[in-house]
Amino acid sequence: MSGSQVPACVPPILTICMQLYHDLYNNHFISPWHTEIMDTVISAVISDFISRFISFIVENYQAHHQVATHKISRLQRLLLRASIVVEEADGRQITNHGMLLQLKQLRESLYRGYYMLDTSDVWPSRSNGLLEVSQYKLQVQFMSNLEAMLNDMKEFLLLLMNCPPIIRQPYSTYLFMERCMFGRQSEKELIVNFLLSPCSSLDILPVIGPIYVGKNTLVEHACREEIVRRNFSKILHFSSDDLMDLANGTDTDNHICKKFNPSGGRSVIVVELVHDSDVVAWGKLYHSLRRGVDSSKVILISRMDCASSLGTVEALRLTRLREEEHWYFFRVLAFGSANPYDHHPDLASIAKEIAMGIRGSLMTTRTIARVLRGNLNVQFWRRALCSIRKVMQVHIHVFGEDPRETQSSNRFLSYFLGFSQDSPLMFCYNRYKTRSMMQGDMTNKKRAEDVLTSRPVQNGEMFDIAGQSHIPPYHNYVSCWVVEKNRRVNLGNKCLKRKRN
């Protein structure tokens, strides 16, 4: 290629360089004048290249920034539409199974969308005003699916308008989460529909799920619905101790029939199966009820999978809240209805780590969120996060299992560490729940909030921590704790494992 034949796409400064090089090559000499020109040209080429590269980076950044901002706004609009539909549906009595399934899917997508917004690290930094586009993780496919789901809700909304409204007192989001059941609205409607469906014999619905997943709470909320109480004269509960008395022959068949059907009306019978022996006792109770009770409903509550075969309808299975649902629950309890990235940006990232560390137990989440909400201090929240991480490390090292992943374990947070400085490590060796605890029984027991925020215990001390659920059936939970003796635990080496009862 000759010096005069230069491609049109080559910048002008490079064209000059190529022509100069061709001239030097043909004349076979380089003068001082040429050297000076070459230095100037090389500097100009480098400057032009750098300026073009910077312009490319800036334009690419701005384009990416605009795309990210647009998609965030789009996702926020979609979540607003979804929350409107979910809130309206929660205020209606829905009996259609397909509508309940569609509502459950929309609610799960709503929680996932909020989780994506809060954990994608695309919010503006309050320190330097820059947008961390490099951490952008929003999934376009999710937004497309959510938009398609909302567009398919036309028939759902038309049918929803014909569903009778449920009269409830207005609550703010924070009070609603504190005083009402979370994440089980569709399951509650399924139980209500089972109770209201016509029957000619004894219908049985098993409610199966792991420990502390909210089975009793779900059944209690369904039985407290006004429409259920209008259709049933009595709602009776049968505990594991009652089944034990029945297995020992304390109650006769006639006594059982009179107890559950004293005036010939319909009854809801809630039976809790805890042990394998309870299943045998339930068999005796079932035969007695079939002979003396008509048109009544039975709900079996158990964490044993074998109980699913005892029902006359398909069992209702409960699982722990997914990560997206649990984060939404914790976020509302800790920050209220406000957006944490607008009011408490320094605490938002810490809150995400804490929520991941305590997922699995709703009561534990309520307790810790209540303590954190009372002290919106960055140092306090960081100490809380360090305490939770240490508790999990000790638990995994001693028991060889992660309490957040174990579905059947009742040792969740068996190790306990306060959020104050130099708080001693405590170990839980027993836990039980009761509905018969009186107010006087609470005097010698500590509250979990007090132990978390202060250090009222000494090494080797034994004490009880008691707490009451804020929602029906208002169970009292009592945990027996002992303070670990002051010794250094090396998590990298073997340590003594405790005997399991």
Average pLDDT, the chain: 76
Lowest mean pLDDT across 287-291, 467-471, 497-501? 497-501
Instruction: Tell me the C-alpha distance between 417 and 451, whole Å.
Output: 9
Cα 360 to its chain centre, rounded Å, is 8
Angle CA 108–134–355, to nearest 5: 40
Average pLDDT over residues 384-388: 92
Average pLDDT over residues 66-79: 78
Lowest mean pLDDT across 55-64, 345-354, 447-456? 55-64
For helices 97-119 and 140-151, the axis angle rounded to 10 degrees is 150
412 or 266, higher pLDDT: 266
174 or 251, higher pLDDT: 251
141-171 residue pLDDT tens:
788 889 999 998 989 999 998 888 876 544 4
Binned at pLDDT 50, 70 and 90, residue 10 comes out as very low
Which residue carries 């993780």 as its tokens?
137
- Domain layout of the chain by residue ranges: 31-163, 323-483
Of 23, 49, 358, whose CA–CA distance to 31 is shortest?
Answer: 23
What pLDDT, on a 0 to 100 scale, did the predictor assign at position 270?
A: 93
Which residue carries 């899917």 as its tokens?
105
- State the sign of the Cα–Cα–Cα–Cα dihedral 337, 341, 346, 350: positive
H helices of 120-252, in order, are 140-151, 154-160, 173-179, 185-196, 215-223, 226-231, 240-247
For helices 32-90 and 12-27, the axis angle rounded to 10 degrees is 150
411-458 residue pLDDT tens:
566 788 888 877 888 888 888 777 665 544 666 678 888 888 876 677
Instruction: Tell me the C-alpha distance between 93 and 91, whole Å.
Output: 7
Binned at pLDDT 50, 70 and 90, residue 316 comes out as very high
What is the number of other CB atoms lying within 10 angstroms of the CB of residue 340? 20
101-115 residue pLDDT tens:
899 999 999 988 888
Binned at pLDDT 50, 70 and 90, residue 179 comes out as low
Strands of the 297-302 sheet, one edge to the other: 234-238, 267-273, 297-302, 203-208, 316-317
Binned at pLDDT 50, 70 and 90, residue 407 comes out as low
Contacts of residue 132, Cβ cutoff 8 Å, sequence gap at least 6: 121, 122, 125
Residue 21 pLDDT exceeds 50: yes
Residue 317 pLDDT exceeds 90: yes
